[in-house]
Amino acid sequence: NAGVTQTPKFQVLKTGQSMTLQCAQDMNHNSMYWYRQDPGMGLRLIYYSASEGTTDKGEVPNGYNVSRLNKREFSLRLESAAPSQTSVYFCASSEKLDRVNTEAFFGQGTRLTVV
């Protein structure tokens, strides 16, 4: 009963390096999300994918790209990491039932430090 799985759990990058955060869900959900969590700022939406084949910008998309690889997987890429991207990143998934937004399920997070 894995739910939403994120890899890696921890990562340290140097400024300018690139990396991809991976996310997979096994609940057959159509929608997937990437959030970042910073102290005092709650969770802010970076990108989301309402369904396979679509992606949309959220509140803070600059410096990130995403790929909805298939229904299960949604990756987040930092092309040139900056210290301002030091954060905890959460992936989530959800499903509409009869057009009602049910709850989002979250992964355990990736703690990223950019030095």
Partner 1 sequence: AQSVTQLDSQVPVFEEAPVELRCNYSSSVSVYLFWYVQYPNQGLQLLLKYLSGSTLVKGINGFEAEFNKSQTSFHLRKPSVHISDTAEYFCAVSPSGTYKYIFGTGTRLKVLA
For partner 1, the binding residues (CB under 8 A) are 4, 31, 33, 35, 40-45, 48, 50, 58, 90, 92, 94, 96, 100-109
User: Least separation, in Å, of the C-beta of 15 and partner 1?
Assistant: 25
- The secondary structure element, H or E, covering residue 73 is none
Nearer to partner 1, 107 or 114 (CB): 107
Work out how close the CB of 9 gets to partner 1 at its nearest, in angstroms, rounded to a whole number: 10
The owner of tokens 């997070």 is 109
The least distance separating partner 1 from the CB of residue 41, rounded to whole angstroms, comes to 6
Question: Quick one: 18 or 54, whose CB is closer to partner 1?
Answer: 54
Q: Is the peptide bond before 61 cis (omega within 30 degrees of 0)?
A: no
Nearer to partner 1, 14 or 98 (CB): 98
Category of 69 on φ-ψ map: left (φ > 0), alpha (ψ -120 to 50) or beta: alpha
> Left, alpha or beta for 79 (phi > 0: left; psi -120 to 50: alpha)?
alpha
CB of 103 to partner 1, least distance (A): 5
Based on CB atoms, which residue is closest to partner 1, 13 or 104? 104
